[in-house]
């Protein structure tokens, strides 16, 4: 598994048009990533408080390349449809994959690209991949209470809030709660297997529709490279 297969989609548009590629990191990309991810504005959302060095990022990339239970991508902005590499602006992945279940995460560490629908498009592509390539049944995630963009992006593609971890961490000197979320594969036997003989709570039935729509949209938008 390690890095996911490369995918591209776009242009996604919100005034500006972006071509996105999700692919493996290249060896030379550790330095820029370390610098970007070490900024306080990024660290506060990913619950880190330590400078990341190029060596740390290169070690992470090597470990990621061989991690059996993970499926990770660099999120890159490409110049146009002929650019097959682009420049990394973030990372996303499915982690701890076991028995059809995983945890997801995302960080767009170049914050000049926030607010253009890039995370939403990457979440859609990742859920398509989870369904079609990995056959994943459910994905868990959590979001710091004040991180409205992250919560919205996850709910839009079919994650459901399941509860709260109170006093989970200290961010900027303040106690923070986090919301737990779960995505359930909306299709056929995956959905049925997840719920077994239990009736899904109504909020999951609503999210199921969003999850289906997100995957259908990704099927149209995403090209495997
Ligand atoms: C959270 C993050 C991934 C969002 O990325 P993004 O590309 O800016 O997200 P999108 O543009 O797809 O926006 C997602 C939704 O949030 C909304 N949104 C964007 N910025 C917002 C803000 N500041 N406040 C409230 N909502 C916001 C968007 O309108 C969109 O909702 P809509 O589709 O219903 O209109 C990005 O801000 C980031 O990397 N932050 C740091 C790391 C992080 O928080 N990771 C997630 C940890 S759980």
Show me where the domains of the chain are located. 2-224
pLDDT at 10: 83
Strands 2-3 and 71-78: parallel
C-beta of 150 in contact with ligand 1 (< 6 A): yes
Report yes or no: 155 and 188 within 8 Å, Cβ to Cβ: no
Which fold does the domain 2-224 belong to in CATH?
Aminopeptidase (3.40.630)
Ligand 1, residue 143: give the atom nearest the CA: 48
Q: Is the dihedral of CA 145, 148, 154, 156 positive or negative?
A: positive
pLDDT at 157: 97
Report yes or no: 204 and 177 within 8 Å, Cβ to Cβ: no
Q: What is the CA(152)–ligand 1 centre distance, in A?
A: 7
Whether the full predicted model's pTM is greater than 0.85, yes or no, is yes
pLDDT at 47: 80
**Interaxial angle between packed helices 148-156 and 202-221, expressed in degrees from 0 to 180 and rounded to the nearest 10:** 80
C-beta of 114 in contact with ligand 1 (< 6 A): yes
Report yes or no: 109 and 89 within 8 Å, Cβ to Cβ: yes
C-beta of 18 in contact with ligand 1 (< 6 A): no
> Which of 14, 119, 125, 165 has most ligand 1 atoms within 8 Å of its beta carbon, as the pocket-test mutant?
119
pLDDT at 49: 79
- Closest by CA to 124, choosing from 195, 36, 221, 46, is 221
User: Mean pLDDT in runs of 10 for the chain (225 residues)?
Assistant: 92 78 95 95 85 93 94 96 96 97 97 94 98 98 94 98 95 91 97 97 97 97 96
């Amino acid at each position: 598994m390690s890095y996911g297969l490369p995918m591209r989609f776009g242009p996604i548009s919100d005034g500006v048009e972006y071509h996105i590629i999700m692919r493996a990191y290249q060896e030379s990309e550790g330095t820029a990533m370390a610098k970007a991810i070490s900024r306080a504005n990024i660290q506060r959302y990913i619950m880190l408080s330590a400078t990341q060095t190029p060596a740390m990022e290169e070690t992470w990339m090597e470990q990621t390349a061989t991690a059996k239970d993970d499926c990770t991508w660099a999120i890159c902005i490409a110049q146009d449809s002929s650019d097959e590499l682009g420049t990394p602006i973030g990372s996303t992945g499915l982690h701890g994959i076991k028995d059809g279940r995983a945890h997801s995460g995302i960080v767009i560490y170049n914050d000049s690209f926030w607010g253009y629908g890039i995370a939403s498009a990457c979440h859609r592509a990742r859920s398509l991949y989870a369904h079609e390539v990995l056959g994943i049944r459910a994905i868990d995630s959590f979001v710091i209470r004040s991180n409205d963009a992250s919560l919205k992006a996850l709910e839009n593609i079919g994650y459901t809030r399941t509860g709260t971890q109170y006093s989970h961490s200290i961010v900027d000197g303040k106690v923070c709660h986090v919301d737990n979320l779960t995505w359930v594969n909306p299709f056929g036997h995956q959905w049925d297997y997840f719920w077994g003989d239990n009736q899904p709570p109504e909020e999951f039935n609503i999210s199921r529709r969003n999850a289906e729509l997100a995957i259908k949209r990704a099927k149209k938008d995403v090209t495997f490279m």
